[in-house]
Structure 1
Amino acid sequence: MGKKKEKREKKAGKRMNKKQLTDLLMDFFQAKGNENVTLKKIFEQLHLTTHPLKMLCMDILADLKEEDYINETERHVYHLHQRGVEMTGRFVRKSNGKNSFIPDDGGDPIFIAERNSAHAMNNDRVRIAYFARRRGRAAEGEVLEILERANDTFVGTLEVTKGYAFLLTENRTLANDIFIPKDKLKGGKTGDKAVVKIIEWPDKAKNPIGQVMDILGRAGENNTEMHAILAEFGLPYSYPKNVEAAADKIPDEIPAEEIARREDFRAVTTFTIDPKDAKDFDDALSIRSLGNGLWEVGVHIADVTYYVKEGTVIDKEAERRATSVYLVDRTIPMLPERLCNLLCSLRPDEEKLAYSVIFTLNDKAEVRASRIVHTIIKSDRRFTYEEAQQVIETGEGDYKFELLELDRLAKQLREKRFANGALEFERIEVKFEIDEKGKPLRVYFKESKDANKLVEEFMLLANRTVAETIGKVPKGKKAKIFPYRIHELPDPSKLDNLAQFIGRFGYKLRTAGSQTDLSKSINRLLKDVKGKKEENLIETVSIRAMQKARYSVHNIGHYGLGFDYYTHFTSPIRRYPDMMVHRLLTKYLDEHGRTVSEKKYEALCEHSSDMEQLAANAERASVKYKQVEFMQEHVGQTYDGVISGVTEWGLYVELNENKCEGMIPIRDLDDDYYEYDEKNYCLRGRRKKHVYSLGDALTVQVARANLEKKQLDFALVD
């Protein structure tokens, strides 16, 4: 046996080149950490038994020493040069052990092996030592200290045994289940979904130790799963009782002196247009003819800040949440229900306080004048989008004269907006019809029709007007601090990639020129692909080239809308930035008030942007959950679809019939070895050169529907 082994090693020895042995030695020193290692020990432990291999090893050791990767503490005794530069930044944990560190200064990510992670969690702020490294080798470091924990709570399913329990998580950033001592279980049983907080992670322990903070219910029950999605993203799933109690104390009556202070629109035709399941009516529209081809259009927004004063418990809770969250089957409101669905909601036939932008428009929808005023209104009718659409299409029904006039003006506003360089993305929204238990019965698509566009156009006009009122100041004067909704130009490298990608389909795109030139070029592209089989694909790739809109007090304009000034004013029931805008607008217009702290408001803008992103992620997760639940009934069935995403671990496919998305794992593409080409959004077979590209049509079979992981697996049908 010994001779055989030696033979095998000699054979292996002949095959090992300099690069392979260099990698082996570097891994060896990393594993040894602080230990001093003799040359003899290196030969032994790496099985370097042949003379050529030993000579090659000594050459490499000399190189590593020269490059400061190792120190020679005495003749033929080596030691990893452990401490390099110390840096602070963010730790990114991956369940496959490929953790990384993102430096504060925005430099390249640095690889952190699991053994060097000090059990840092995803997004923790950490201090690391940056190892001296070899050229051409990935940068590597070791966590020295965890400065600030980002998240120490996890959601999963309990598995309880006689003496202890584990939380089994589906979190992609945590490779290990969480150990829970029996006395920290809070009555949880096997199969319960729970929220668990990590209380310690001992150095030598494989698993972190946690305690149950909350039991959400039985895994698989709709309510439990929706709460679990919220908890997973750190979003609240219940409303604090003390905040609801504070809302209950707010009187219904509007004092006479408050009415006297406001412009009275109660006698002007006014209505709301909202989704059929909406209860929180944020905005209403009024219209009346002023004669001589002029129209007065009022955009009336719920006056939330009349009821919610700055610094109160209700305000602090709204600030913390920053947004309402819309899951598939429920709304998790930013404000207590009494405020959002009752006091502030612009319900029909009830007198309501509003903050309004009143426009005078001519027949060509040109704004002749505008003013921003506190008003009292009384909505005459609550339209659903479908009802308003019916009136627009047939020319018959309640308030047909007003609706048709608003529609005519909105269409002109829209046309001008696109002529000025606004982008025209129209994405199909997937909706579910669900029964009283939350079970999805059917999938349908929500399209934006004229009634939706009518409301959108006047909201955009109001938001823009408010932003210009504060932001547009005479030359030489400084604008006051104000929250804007900003949207940067696309990343130039992403735009180049997009241009190259669409070139394969025979389309062209400008990547240089003015903002308007770029927008017009993208719009032309979107028009050209309309109705073509690659429409969805090119829209998806184009959207990925765009930046995300966000909030900031530093105005740079809104590229997607083609506006130099834009803010959010029209949804204060469901967005905190709109409440900030209402308060500052009142302060600046009424009192000619002094400007506010830039630092404070930028921090609030950042928080609002972060919470908006979390809410969007939770909303997507709830849609994904319902898609998997819906497709459970269809395992084994065959569907046509298109490749909607390409990653190194497989292909995402979206089914044409219901827009449900699933994955074909790369391991199942077993006819070849497939490599991921990030630039061209494809997987390419190494031997047969077969290519799977984004947008390709495929026929797939539903192989598995894993609700726990919110994951659909498809199999390719030849």
Structure 2
Amino acid sequence: MKRKHSKHQSSQAYMLKGTLDIARSGLGYVVIADGSGDVLVRPGSFNNALHGDTVRVKVFKEHPVTGKKEGRITEIISRYRTEFIGVLQVSPKAAFFIADTDKPMPDFYIPFDKLNGAKNKDHVSVRLVRWNAEDKKPIGEVISVISEENVNDMAMQEIIAENGFSLSFPDEAVKESEQLSGDITEKETKKRKDFRDVLTFTIDPVDAKDFDDAISIKKIKKDIYQIGVHIADVSHFVKEGSALDEEAYTRATSVYLPDRVNPMLPENISNVLCSLRPKEDKYTFSAVFEMNTKAEVKKTWIGRTIIHSDHRFSYEDVQQVIETKEGLYKEEILLLNGIAQKMRRQRFKNGAINFSSQEVRFKLDEHAKPIGIVIKESKEAHQLIEEFMLLANRTVAKYVSDIRAAKKDVAFPYRVHDEPDKDKLIPFVEFSRKFGHKFNMSSPEKIAASFNQLLKDVEGKPEQHVLEQLGIRTMAKAAYKTENIGHYGLGFEDYCHFTSPIRRYPDVMVHRIVASCLKKKPIEDKKMDEKCAHCSERERAAMEAERAGNKYKQVEFMQQFLGEEFDAVISGVARFGFWAETVDHKCEGLISIQDLNDFDEFRHIESDYSLVGRRSGKQFRMGDKVTIRVVAANLDKRQLDYEWVNNTSASDKKSRKPKKKNKN
């Protein structure tokens, strides 16, 4: 129905759904997902909604020319977060909690029987219990007291909470997890294919506690091997609609910070019942392949299994076997690695893009303070696991896709990645041309081939890192969707997440749907689109939390080097300055254009990712080497400030190793 407008506002109110964003001023804006324009909400019209909540807003005013809208919130559909970090104020009459946040929000009333041992002025984490229309203030309960000495712990907890993740599990979910039995029963075993007598092992990071995937290998006949990818059968334990399931769905993912994991599932499930620990029988969901040494799949089987892991390897253990050709199960590991490397080469030949990645890890002391930085690169041991997980994921997705193609309605959370947006790609293509690299943009396949050629050509060259990073930024973001558009970056027509159900909820959904398909009774889930959107949003929030955690540790680490100079590389450029990343420890800080203006007046050349001096012609371009000085390290803002050192170029100097300044 067409809405009628008076001169300054619509005459008919209507409802919209969106996310509440509260500004520091106290005004709220409900952000509508379809991009139709924000709705202004004044503080008296929040109806107990908090920043980040998904709400329904009644629009009562809309300007006919500008389209600006104003409304009031009528319903809170879902809370963005229910746990907060802050300070407790306790008096003989009442207790209140004041949250540490730059967003305006009311104090919480804490009943005395919900203080959980907390005292006046304690730093605490608090859960929102209730805030109904009749409540003057939100009512909360103290979850835990945070030690004043451990600022570190408080900062990490705040990062988790501010991104909408719970710091603790509801009592009902914990109770359910503790009542679950890990006993292997004859009744359940009869429903599964038994792999307990087949050589099986796990390969994980050395500090991992949740092992959700294992590999088995068995020779069938000459040059034919049965290779099993066995995944923890989380859906056997976590039943749909249970308190455990609801909490896992709400979180949708585990969050990995430098000093901790905020898990999707309680410890009894993630580290005990479902973890594929060595020398224990475990229930699994598997994709099993008969393959030859040319990496050709001859036969596939998908179903529920039971396994017994013979050994737990770390990536370092397996890498040593690959490099020395000696060690436990060397023949099997070398065979698997050979097949994995063939699959990897074939994948890139078929259009997958070979973006390499460096993973920065912090070395922490017993108080979780960073004492060093380690740069980890993907080696063949990592690629061995990666290729077999990719094979399992794409095989499961194709299985469900083929059922759907047979006109059976299967709502499924595909993992999709769209083709590049050519408008976003053009500036990158122009920039890479300055380094002598050519792009064929005639088709998505040609674009992928051009990317791979560029990545091959730049290996080991000064521009490698900058072109890799810029290339990644031009790509669309992978997401969960029911529409199967394929995965462009991997070069797969069908792809899903099947292999990490301990830490990702979409994998749990995939397991349930595949199980229903195997029984010829596919689940009909009319809310799958909504679930995919939720899981994609939670994944983005987890990534933001992980970035914030890494940034905090960077700032904490660099505090000891105030006033020190380092070689760095320009990692980003904006109109207000440029970012530089130190060569030695990959810590990024901002050089403000205000500081550069003492030298010259700089203008931003967006197409060239550079700042250029109007008088001197001095250029700061992404990828350039510079010398920086650390001038500020603000832990509260998680921000490093550098200044450009205008002397001889960084390339003419020996790399400066970090040295603590003499505090005397």
Q: Report the TM-score when normalising by structure 1.
A: 0.78
| Residue of structure 1 in register with 2:624 after alignment | 696
In the TM superposition, what whole-angstrom CA distance separates every residue of 1:389-446 from its partner, at most 9, and x where no partner exists?
A: 0001000000000000000000111111100000111110110111221111111011
- Larger CA deviation: 318-327 vs 405-414: 318-327
In the TM superposition, what whole-angstrom CA distance separates every residue of 1:499-543 from its partner, at most 9, and x where no partner exists?
A: 122223332223331x32221111111112211112111111111
Cα distance between partner residues in 2 of 1:585 and 1:157 = 44
| Contact 1:129–1:144, Cα closer than 8 Å, also in 2 | yes
Cα distance between partner residues in 2 of 1:676 and 1:573 = 46
| Residue of structure 2 in register with 1:568 after alignment | 497
- Calculate percent identity across the aligned residue pairs: 42
Residue 468 (structure 2) pairs with residue 551 (structure 1):
no
Residue 190 (structure 2) pairs with residue 260 (structure 1):
yes
Structure 1 residue identity aligned to 2:533: E
Residue 614 (structure 2) pairs with residue 683 (structure 1):
no
Give ranges in structure 1 of 5+ residues lacking alignment.
Answer: 1-69, 72-80, 134-138, 201-207
| Contact 1:674–1:683, Cα closer than 8 Å, also in 2 | yes
| Residue of structure 2 in register with 1:537 after alignment | 466
Q: SS where residue 523 of structure 1 aligns?
A: helix
Cα distance between partner residues in 1 of 2:589 and 2:177 = 44
Structure 1 residue identity aligned to 2:547: R
Q: SS where residue 452 of structure 1 aligns?
A: helix
Q: SS where residue 367 of structure 2 aligns?
A: coil
Cα distance between partner residues in 2 of 1:650 and 1:98 = 30
Q: SS where residue 234 of structure 1 aligns?
A: coil
Cα distance between partner residues in 1 of 2:299 and 2:110 = 69
In the TM superposition, what whole-angstrom CA distance separates every residue of 1:193-221 from its partner, at most 9, and x where no partner exists?
A: 66697999xxxxxxx99877657625652
Residue 285 (structure 2) pairs with residue 358 (structure 1):
no
Q: 1:368 deviation in Å?
A: 0.6
Q: SS where residue 472 of structure 1 aligns?
A: helix
Residues 437 and 370 of structure 1: is their aligned pair in 2 closer, same or farther, counting only changes over 3 Å? same
Cα distance between partner residues in 2 of 1:683 and 1:248 = 58
Q: 1:141 deviation in Å?
A: 2.8
Residues 140 and 643 of structure 1: is their aligned pair in 2 closer, same or farther, counting only changes over 3 Å? farther
| Contact 1:170–1:708, Cα closer than 8 Å, also in 2 | no
Residues 453 and 151 of structure 1: is their aligned pair in 2 closer, same or farther, counting only changes over 3 Å? closer
In the TM superposition, what whole-angstrom CA distance separates every residue of 1:430-463 from its partner, at most 9, and x where no partner exists?
A: 1011122111111101111001000000010011
Structure 2 residue identity aligned to 1:633: Q
Q: SS where residue 631 of structure 1 aligns?
A: helix
| Contact 1:152–1:198, Cα closer than 8 Å, also in 2 | no
| Residue of structure 2 in register with 1:442 after alignment | 372
| Contact 1:266–1:377, Cα closer than 8 Å, also in 2 | yes
Q: SS where residue 357 of structure 2 aligns?
A: coil
In the TM superposition, what whole-angstrom CA distance separates every residue of 1:319-377 from its partner, at most 9, and x where no partner exists?
A: 22111111111112212211111111111111111111111112211001111122211
| Residue of structure 1 in register with 2:435 after alignment | 505
Cα distance between partner residues in 2 of 1:110 and 1:474 = 38
Cα distance between partner residues in 2 of 1:675 and 1:198 = 52
| Residue of structure 1 in register with 2:641 after alignment | 713
| Residue of structure 2 in register with 1:231 after alignment | 161
Q: 1:264 deviation in Å?
A: 1.7
Q: SS where residue 627 of structure 1 aligns?
A: helix
Residues 678 and 180 of structure 1: is their aligned pair in 2 closer, same or farther, counting only changes over 3 Å? farther
Q: Where do residues 91-130 of structure 1 align in structure 2 (5 Å cutoff)?
A: 95=24, 105-107=34-36, 126=57, 127=59, 129-130=61-62
| Contact 1:324–1:575, Cα closer than 8 Å, also in 2 | yes
| Residue of structure 1 in register with 2:549 after alignment | 622
Structure 2 residue identity aligned to 1:544: R
Residue 508 (structure 2) pairs with residue 587 (structure 1):
no
Structure 1 residue identity aligned to 2:530: A
Residues 665 and 190 of structure 1: is their aligned pair in 2 closer, same or farther, counting only changes over 3 Å? farther
In the TM superposition, what whole-angstrom CA distance separates every residue of 1:542-592 from its partner, at most 9, and x where no partner exists?
A: 111111111122111111110101111111111111111111111111x21
Q: Of the two, which has the highest radius of gyration?
A: 1
| Residue of structure 2 in register with 1:314 after alignment | 244
Q: 1:298 deviation in Å?
A: 0.9
Aligned alpha-carbon RMSD (Å): 3.5
| Residue of structure 2 in register with 1:606 after alignment | 533
Q: 1:302 deviation in Å?
A: 1.2
Count of aligned positions: 622
Q: 1:701 deviation in Å?
A: 0.9
Residues 94 and 458 of structure 1: is their aligned pair in 2 closer, same or farther, counting only changes over 3 Å? same
| Residue of structure 2 in register with 1:383 after alignment | 313
Residue 377 (structure 2) pairs with residue 426 (structure 1):
no
Cα distance between partner residues in 2 of 1:308 and 1:118 = 36
| Contact 2:282–2:308, Cα closer than 8 Å, also in 1 | yes
Cα distance between partner residues in 2 of 1:340 and 1:449 = 26
Structure 2 residue identity aligned to 1:703: V
- Larger CA deviation: 152-161 vs 501-510: 152-161
| Residue of structure 1 in register with 2:322 after alignment | 392
| Residue of structure 2 in register with 1:5 after alignment | none
Cα distance between partner residues in 2 of 1:367 and 1:166 = 60
Structure 2 residue identity aligned to 1:607: H
| Contact 2:293–2:335, Cα closer than 8 Å, also in 1 | no
Cα distance between partner residues in 2 of 1:624 and 1:674 = 28
Cα distance between partner residues in 2 of 1:252 and 1:154 = 31
Cα distance between partner residues in 2 of 1:152 and 1:262 = 40
- Larger CA deviation: 350-359 vs 89-98: 89-98
Cα distance between partner residues in 1 of 2:95 and 2:266 = 39
Residues 561 and 128 of structure 1: is their aligned pair in 2 closer, same or farther, counting only changes over 3 Å? farther
| Residue of structure 2 in register with 1:40 after alignment | none
Residues 490 and 148 of structure 1: is their aligned pair in 2 closer, same or farther, counting only changes over 3 Å? farther
Structure 2 residue identity aligned to 1:430: V
Cα distance between partner residues in 2 of 1:475 and 1:113 = 46
Q: SS where residue 306 of structure 2 aligns?
A: strand
Structure 2 residue identity aligned to 1:239: F
Q: Where do residues 396-475 of structure 1 align in structure 2 (5 Å cutoff)?
A: 396-473=326-403
Structure 2 residue identity aligned to 1:228: E
| Contact 2:579–2:588, Cα closer than 8 Å, also in 1 | yes
